[in-house]
Amino acid sequence: MHLSPNDSNEYKYLTLDNGLRVLIVHDSNAQKSAAALAVNVGHFDDPIEREGLAHYLEHMLFLGTEKYPKVGEFQSYISQHGGSNNAWTGTEHTCFFFDVSPNAFFKSLDRFSQFFTAPLFNEESLDKERQAVESEYKLKLNDDSRRLYQVLKETINLEHPFSKFSVGNLETLGDRNGQTIRNEILGFYQTKYSADLMTLTVVSSHSIEEMTKAVTDKFSSVLNQSLQGKSITVPYTTQDHTGIKIHVEPVKDIRKLTLAFPLPNVNDYYKGKPLSYFAHLLGYEGPGSLMIALKQKGWINSLSAGGGTSGSNYREFSISCALTLEGIEHIDEITQAVFHYIHLISSNEYDEWRYNEKQAVLESAFRFQEPTRSLDLASHLVMNMQHYLPEDVVYGDYMMQDFNPSLLEELSGYFTPENLRMVLIAKGEITTNRRNGIILPTLFLTFLQNRLNDLIKKLSSSFLFQSVTLIYATTSIQSLFSNLSIRLK
């Protein structure tokens, strides 16, 4: 396992007999002990008729087990010993975590392990936790990031599980036909949760030997149903979901343009991080950069590149701009400038020194990491275990060791107008578009989707700047703008 020279922790990776993967971290300076368990089950696994079930299950696991049947006993014990606990449900993973005083760690770990061996799913707690899910749902109704997330779900391939309603509410999780939801949630737990889908990280000042024994004793009884290797084959997008512009009406006065390009899954390339090459150049903020050029035109306040939704069979690469008021009137020009910049990168030779430059930044960040809390470390590494080889769990986020020009060329082929999903977030008069049958408020769905046919034609026929040479990110992107207004007429 590759470690930073400044990392004084001791690490031990092991796999229990039931297939559950464990990382034990001894931190002699830890003020608290922490544990996190992640399982490769999320809202993608929800039955279509029970959207939000994975999230609901996450709530229910905290509410009593056969060994500790009292509702709230775990939270009470953790709180009494100076700790905290929480959990989250994502697209393909659910993660549970806690921290506590070291003298209470092993008893806390025993209580925690029971979530995954003998939960009760108390009948009297079903409605209370359903109300808690409803409250989470309502809390986000006017949250612009959540609203945008839902619009994205509405505008990708509706056969892909990303399109499911993830949170759940009283309607999707309600009792039906005189029967409570308990049997359904029990069945979901029994068929979806499996030791070979789980990873566990523990961090403490206790010795490696003590923690190894505790973990082995308490988690070896988690049932292994041999579910590892599950996959998604439905495409995230088809031709019907690209080459489009989506106008989203925000609650707050936000002005943002995002140009997103759907790609296949790139998780297998984590050691080389090829998309970081493009993000490094497109997100550059120095002289001659795309951001400086657009700021000098008065069209944007900031620009970032590289982020986007991702999952086991898809990845989006996005360029996002915070727009000025004037910038809203120049969306096409901004878009064309981005495509010209992409063209400059892909039409020049891919340079290893640029790759090495980004590599050096990551390596420095790895060497000089700030000390982190036990809880944060456990929660982070337990997810790395889901994505990286055992020897890369600590280093994987920072690895950049495989400069591959042919792969860069392949990925650049996705940065085309035809594969573009343009999202404009700004106030404006737009109509409402909603998918039939989904149980969601109109507030979530204030958006308009259009094809980009005219703009695609203009963009596809206007790459005329091949003679411009990249110096850092590029020399003068300014020279592009003298032609933009002509090209777009």
Mind telling me the catalytic residues? Answer: 58
With DSSP H G I counted as helix, E B as strand and the rest as coil, what are the percentages for the chain, rounded to 5?
40, 15, 40
Q: Which residue bears the tokens 């759907």?
A: 262
Do 445 and 457 meet the contact criterion of CB atoms below 8 Å apart? no
CA 297 to chain CA centroid, Å, is 33
User: What is d(CA 393, CA 3) in angstroms, rounded to the nearest whole number?
Assistant: 10
Do 14 and 22 meet the contact criterion of CB atoms below 8 Å apart? yes
Do 81 and 31 meet the contact criterion of CB atoms below 8 Å apart? no
Burial of 351 (C-beta count, 10 Å sphere; 0-12/13-18/19+): middle
Start-to-end CA distance of the chain, whole Å, equals 57
User: What is d(CA 155, CA 171) in angstroms, rounded to the nearest whole number?
Assistant: 23
If we measure between CA atoms, which residue out of 5, 121, 14, 112 comes closest to residue 63? 121
User: What is d(CA 380, CA 396) in angstroms, rounded to the nearest whole number?
Assistant: 12
Report phi then psi at 443, rounded to 5: -50, -35
User: What is d(CA 227, CA 188) in angstroms, rounded to the nearest whole number?
Assistant: 13
Angle CA(411)–CA(415)–CA(416) in degrees, nearest 5?
A: 135
User: What is d(CA 354, CA 432) in angstroms, rounded to the nearest whole number?
Assistant: 45
If we measure between CA atoms, which residue out of 59, 136, 50, 125 comes closest to residue 94? 59
If we measure between CA atoms, which residue out of 341, 352, 346, 472 comes closest to residue 404? 352
Q: Which residues contact residue 75 at a Cβ distance below 8 angstroms, ignoring those fewer than 6 apart?
A: 62, 85
Cβ neighbour number for residue 205 with a 10 Å cutoff:
15
